[in-house]
Structures are given as structure tokens and as C-alpha cells.
Structure 1
Amino acid sequence: MQILLGLILGAAIGLAAHFSLPHRQLRGAALAPLAGAAAAAVVWTALTWMGLGVDSPILWIVAVLAPAATAFALVPLVSRSRVTRDAADRDRLGV
């Protein structure tokens, strides 16, 4: 049940990444929150299996840093790929 804390935290960080990075119109609104939640879930699960509890600051620090790193790395990569592909399609179509 405590993993919900990590999931909500990861989704909130992903949502912040979605709104703070450019090219918002080129990607889905759920991409960054889902990526953040997934990263937080993996990290939270791994660290709790290693014996850390919600009272451990290491768990919280890593649960914030992992979704932030994932969302802020994935979103520009997807946006850049979309911009490049759209430009290639425009060139191919002669628009």
C-alpha cells in the first residue's frame, strides 16, 4: 500500500516535466507522468525489498531523483524524435 506514495510522487514529477519542457503539443499528456510513475514504482519496490522503509531518507531521495531523471531524459528524446520525423515527412511530401 505504501508504494502508492511512490507512484503519486513519480506521477507528479512527470507531470511537472511535461509542463516545464517545450514541444508539449508533440507528445501525449500521459507520457511523462506514466514514465515518472513507472520509474518510481521500480525504485520504490527495489528499495523496500532491500529493507528500507518509509522512514528512510534514502528511499525518498531516490524516489524523487529516479522519476525526475527518467522523465526529464525521456520527454526531450521523444520530442526531438518527433520534430525530426515531422521535418522528414514534410520534406518527403514537399510541403
Structure 2
Amino acid sequence: MQILIAFILGAVIGVGIHFQLHQRLTRGVVLAPMVGAASAGAAWAILTWLGIGVDTPWPWLAALIVPIVVTYPVVLLLSRSRVAHDTREKARLGIG
């Protein structure tokens, strides 16, 4: 059941990253929290499958660090990709 804490922590970190980065209007509100929750849950699950218990600090640290390391670049790259695509599409259509 502690994996739910990892999912919640990852989602909260994702919300923080969503509001920290620019170009919020180019991505959905749920993208960053979902990436954060998925990465935190995956890190937690992998560590528990490897036999590392919740009585050690490693799953807890992974639930905090992995979402930051994964979500920040994913959101940044997706935002840049969307802006570049929108710019190309506007040029192709002759809009503004």
C-alpha cells in the first residue's frame, strides 16, 4: 500500500514542475503529474521487486528523486516539440 504514497508524491512533483516551466498552454494539465506519478510508481515497484524493503530509505528517496529526473526533461522536450510543430504548421498554413 505504500506505493500509493509514491504515486501521490510523483503527481505532486509533476504539478510543481508543470507550473514551474514555461509554455504551460502547449501541454495538458495532466501530462506532468501523470509522468511524475508513473515514474515514481515504477521506481518504487522496481526497488521492491529487487527486494529492497520500505524500511530502508531507498524507495522513499527514489519516489522523490526519480520523478524530478524524469518529468522535468520529458515536459521540457514535449513543450519545445509542440511549439516547433505549431510554428511549422502556422507557416505551412500561412497563418500569422
TM-score category (smaller protein): over 0.9
Relative to the length of structure 2, the TM-score reads: 0.93
Which one-letter code corresponds to 2:91 in the other structure?
A: D
Give the Cα–Cα distance (whole angstroms) in 1 for the partners of residues 74 and 45 of structure 2.
21
Q: Using the TM superposition, name which of 74-83 and 46-55 deviates more.
A: 46-55
Within 5 A, what are the aligned runs for 1:1-95? Answer: 1-95=1-95
Runs of 4+ deviating beyond 3 Å: none
RMSD in angstroms over aligned alpha carbons? 0.9
Q: By how many angstroms is 1:68 displaced? A: 0.7
Relative to the length of structure 1, the TM-score reads: 0.94
Identity %, equivalent residues: 48
Matched positions, count: 95
